[in-house]
């Protein structure tokens, strides 16, 4: 039996397939029902409207969207915040600007590593030549 503390309420529970205790799981299901019912009634709602009307956090609504429990196809104005900058998006975890910035940073990092490796090889070769020059000079 695998025991764990519920990350939501802190209670000890037997961890099976879920990461939260049964009480919190029921609470999450109730929150989902509130959100789903609200979105059925108000198809054009945005995430802040849903959060304010139902009392469910934006983070939890975003989790429902990522899990596929709330479909964005039926909610044309629904979007969720980018994990990096908070800009509202409709797909993936980060917006296009943040994705571009991360790709640029990754490319720069690889270039820096390549330059550092090249400098290291040059310094090693220079040290080897200096050693040979000292040996030949004696």
- How sure is the predictor about 129, in pLDDT bands with cuts at 50, 70 and 90? low
- How sure is the predictor about 125, in pLDDT bands with cuts at 50, 70 and 90? low
- Tens digits of per-residue pLDDT, 87-98? 999 999 999 999
Q: pLDDT above 70 covers what percent of the chain?
A: 88
- Tens digits of per-residue pLDDT, 29-40? 999 999 999 999
Instruction: Supply the pLDDT for residue 114.
Output: 87
Whole-angstrom Cα distance, residue 69 to residue 67?
6
What DSSP assignment string belongs to 36-97?
HHHHHH-TT--HHHHHHHH---HHHHHHHHHHTSS-SSS-TT--EE-TTT--EESSSSS-HH
pTM beyond 0.85: no
């Amino acid at each position: 039996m695998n025991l764990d503390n519920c990350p939501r309420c802190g209670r000890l529970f037997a961890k099976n397939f879920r990461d939260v205790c049964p009480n919190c799981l029921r609470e999450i299901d109730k929150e989902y029902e509130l959100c789903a019912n609200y979105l059925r009634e108000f198809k054009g709602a945005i995430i802040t409207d849903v959060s304010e009307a139902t009392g469910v956090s934006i983070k939890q609504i975003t989790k429902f969207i990522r899990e596929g429990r709330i479909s964005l196809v039926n909610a044309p104005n629904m979007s969720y915040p980018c994990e990096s900058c908070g800009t509202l998006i409709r797909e993936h975890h980060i917006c296009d600007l943040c994705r571009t910035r991360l790709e640029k940073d990754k490319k720069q990092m690889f270039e820096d590593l390549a330059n550092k490796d090249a400098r290291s090889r040059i310094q090693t070769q220079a040290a080897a030549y200096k050693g040979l020059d000292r040996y030949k000079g004696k």
